[in-house]
A and B are shown apart, each in its own frame.
Chain A
């Protein structure tokens, strides 16, 4: 069974600082990988995803993530945090060849200090 671990349920950064949200997965076969963001009182919105090809993936709002197979990781980064980035972020995996089911990590709440 797949599992996803997001290290740090809460991360606090200052405005303008680097954002790094960690995601590790366990799977015998590299899955498809997703990052979603959830703003208060809203559903989840896709930030970016990795399916095949280039391992550095760029998403919306200046976020990017790098798939590292050897580390089974898919960490999310943004060079400079903005107040509007404050939200909850979810990493998710979808097994290859096994249907359209997402397994989510526990989420990381990002707080941005002025």
Chain B
């Protein structure tokens, strides 16, 4: 595997379900990110991790819970979501400084019923 991978690619869940999104980067980076991409809205940064420490939480509701066990893996735990949470969730990684390129995974398309 190369680059940034995300699983699953598609997910349908009810509002009472609990699920997790997984991201893995094979680039040796030390920063990882979660973004939300909704229709008709700009990409929204949700969380930033640098060296496994969360350095940014962009006012994300608590029904989204990130976890970064090491620099290569990032999870997004989901529980009691709302239909408006349906979106494409993108993971990215980078070397961590502001001028470094962020490399994106293909995303998980989430539908909340």
Identify the A interface with B (CB < 8 A): 4, 32, 34, 36, 41-46, 49, 51, 90, 94-107
Contacts and interface: CB of A to CB of B under 8 A. Distances in A.
B95 to A, nearest CB: 8
Interface residues of B, number: 25
A32 B101 contact: no
- A36, A90, A95, A101: residue with the most chain B Cβ atoms closer than 10 Å: A101
A49 B101 contact: yes
B106 A42 contact: yes
A112 B53 CA distance: 43
A96 to B, nearest CB: 6
Contacts of A36: 104
A43 B4 contact: yes
A45 B97 CA distance: 18
9 contacts: A32-B98, A42-B106, A46-B103, A97-B98, A98-B98, A100-B96, A100-B98, A102-B102, A104-B43
4 nearest A-B residue pairs (beta carbon): A43-B104, A104-B43, A44-B104, A94-B98
Interface in B76-113: 90, 92, 94, 96-107
